[in-house]
Amino acid sequence: MIPAARTVGFVPGERNVFFHILTACNLSCRHCYINPEQHGRQTLSRATMERWIELFARPEQKSNMIFLGGEPTLHPDLVHGIAKAKACGFAVTVDSNGYLFHDLLDHTTPELLDYLSFSLDGPDAAVNDPIRGQGSFAVCTTNLRKAVARGFAVSVIYTVSSMNIEHLPRMVALLGDLGVRRFFIQVIGLRGKPAQDGVLAKLEDGSSKWQVSPEQWLRIVPAVARQAAEQGIHVTYPKVFLDESEPFECAGVVADNFFIFPNGRVYRCPLCEDYPIHACRIENDILLHNEGLTEDRFFALNIAEGCVMNKLLQPDTISYDTSGRPQHRISCCLLKQEIKPAI
């Protein structure tokens, strides 16, 4: 039986805390979304990191803590943050480029770390390394194998762009070889470096430098997800385009998602992270709501294009027919589809 995709609706009250504990990184990925001018350049101290974890802890609610950077394993106290988050009731994930600094595997355990996520943007070095950095494929896959051998639950994140979408089908065999049972397919975000390059930048063949067309996405991504699920891999990928009958929902209204940066900014929508329109801020270890025209003032708006923040911040991603009607409605960027392996 071919596994079927299902849309994972937002769960009211569920909390997802995306915690950038620093913005430094050993790599310089071409699609990096970190913007130091907006997110800061500092590395949080251990004490601050632990206080901010406590600030967002809600033991009575299902809560997820995702440690991010930059490269979070560059932080010398990441293992303390993992233990603290677990003690506060969070399910804990670390998203890493695979270099696993400070001997991470030696200083934490599978019991404390629910998922260790590795970023790969190609099925081999020839595709991955021009995007993420020379030698990164070899280091990432070597450390991923070590993590699997030590019993850690691992996942792989693949950020789809025009540079690598045609190579996505070859990831299924690689994931099987590596022993990966969870696969996240992401769509390139036009923020950070891609936004600075300009969304209309072109490759030599005239195609978009970053964006994939709706036709490319719908032709390739769902098919690869099904193939991976048939091989026993749990796949999650963005909904991106809503069907005619599907209602639009904004995670900023329905769910509790917080994107925390070292300078104290707290966003509710990741599309907004290049701009000083964050809904909240942390001052003196207190979460405060910002006044004025902030991102959350727009979340409840209902427009024909779907996501209002996408319309405001990335209007070139939307195409219209001759009558001015959008050809596709864009879902909330946090709305996911998943395919679980058949039992």
Domain 6-247+331-339 has CATH 3.20.20.100: no
Full-model pTM = 0.93
Asked if residue 292 lies in contact with residue 284, where contact means CB atoms within 8 angstroms, the answer is no
Verify cis geometry, omega within 30 degrees of 0, for the bond prior to 70: yes
* DSSP character string of 7-24: EE---TT-EEEEEE----
Please tell me the distance from the alpha carbon of residue 21 to that of residue 72, in angstroms, as a whole number: 7
Please tell me the distance from the alpha carbon of residue 164 to that of residue 199, in angstroms, as a whole number: 17
**Given phi > 0 = left and psi -120 to 50 = alpha, else beta, which region is 89?**
left
Please tell me the distance from the alpha carbon of residue 172 to that of residue 298, in angstroms, as a whole number: 39
What are the boundaries of each domain within the chain? 6-247+331-339
Asked if residue 327 lies in contact with residue 319, where contact means CB atoms within 8 angstroms, the answer is yes
Task: Kindly tell me the burial class for residue 154, based on how many C-beta atoms sit within 10 Å of its own C-beta (0-12, 13-18, 19 or more).
Answer: buried
Residue-level pLDDT, tens digit, the chain, 343 residues: 666 788 877 777 789 999 999 999 999 998 898 999 999 999 999 999 999 999 999 988 889 999 999 999 999 999 999 999 999 999 999 999 999 999 999 999 999 999 999 999 999 999 999 999 999 999 999 999 999 999 999 999 999 999 999 999 999 999 999 999 999 999 876 665 666 655 444 444 444 567 788 889 999 999 999 999 999 999 999 998 898 888 999 999 988 999 999 999 999 999 999 999 999 999 999 999 999 999 999 999 999 999 999 999 888 778 899 999 998 899 998 999 999 997 6
